Structure 1
Amino acid sequence: MARRRRTLLAAGVVLLLAGAAVLAWIGWEYVGSNWVSARRHAAVVDDLHRGWSEGETSVHVDAGTADAIVRIPRFGSDYAVPVLEGTSDTALASGFGHVEGTAGPGEVGNYALAAHRVTHGEPLRDLPDLEVGDEVLVDTARTTYTYRLVTGGDALTVPFTAGWVLDPLPTNPEDGGVEPPQRPGQRLLTLTTCSELFHTDDRLVAFAELVSSSPRRGR
Structure 2
Amino acid sequence: MTATIAPHPPSRPRRRVVTAIGVILLLGGLSVIGYFAWQYIGTNLVAKHKQSEIKKQTKIQWEKGVDGDAIAMLRVKRFGSDYEVPIVKGFDDGALARGVGWDPKSEKPGQVGNFAIAGHRVTHGEPFSKFPKLKKGDLVVIETRRDIFTYRLRNSGTSITVPFTTPWPLWRVPHPDARNDTPTERLITLLTCSELFHTENRSVVIGELVKTYDKKEATTTTNG
TM-score relative to the length of structure 2: 0.87
Aligned AA for 2:131? Answer: L
Equivalences for residues 77-92 of structure 1 within 5 A: 77-92=81-96
1:16 corresponds to: 26
Partner Cα separation in structure 2 for residue 46 and residue 148 of structure 1: 27
2:112 corresponds to: 108
Aligned AA for 1:58? Answer: G
Question: Residues 139 and 216 of structure 1 are in contact (CA less than 8 Å); yes or no, is this contact kept in structure 2?
Answer: no
What secondary structure, in the 3-state scheme, does the structure 2 residue paired with 1:145 have?
Answer: strand
Q: Deviations over 1:78-99 (max 9, x none)?
A: 2111111111111000011111
Q: Deviations over 1:130-157 (max 9, x none)?
A: 0001111001001110001001111100
Percent identical among aligned pairs is 43
| Count of residues in Structure 1 that have an aligned counterpart in Structure 2 | 205
Question: Residues 112 and 183 of structure 2 are in contact (CA less than 8 Å); yes or no, is this contact kept in structure 1?
Answer: no
Aligned partner of 1:135 among 136, 139, 155:
139
Question: Residues 140 and 216 of structure 1 are in contact (CA less than 8 Å); yes or no, is this contact kept in structure 2?
Answer: no
| Structure ID, larger Rg | 2
Partner Cα separation in structure 2 for residue 159 and residue 29 of structure 1: 24
Q: What's the CA shift for 1:183?
A: 9.9
- RMSD, aligned CA: 1.8
TM-score relative to the length of structure 1: 0.89
Partner Cα separation in structure 1 for residue 75 and residue 66 of structure 2: 20
2:68 corresponds to: 58
Does residue 124 in structure 1 map to residue 128 in structure 2?
Answer: yes
Structure 2 runs not aligned, ≥5 long: 1-10, 219-224
1:62 corresponds to: none
Does residue 44 in structure 1 map to residue 54 in structure 2?
Answer: yes
Q: Deviations over 1:109-167 (max 9, x none)?
A: 00000111110000111111000011110010011100010011111000111111111
What secondary structure, in the 3-state scheme, does the structure 2 residue paired with 1:84 have?
Answer: strand
Partner Cα separation in structure 2 for residue 184 and residue 163 of structure 1: 16
Does residue 2 in structure 1 map to residue 40 in structure 2?
Answer: no
1:98 corresponds to: 102
Aligned AA for 1:213? Answer: T
Q: Deviations over 1:158-208 (max 9, x none)?
A: 0111111111112235xxxxx9xx995110000001110001111100001
Partner Cα separation in structure 2 for residue 135 and residue 109 of structure 1: 18
Equivalences for residues 63-212 of structure 1 within 5 A: 66-173=70-177, 184-212=183-211
Structure 1 runs not aligned, ≥5 long: 60-65, 174-178
Does residue 28 in structure 1 map to residue 32 in structure 2?
Answer: no
Moved over 4 A (4+): none
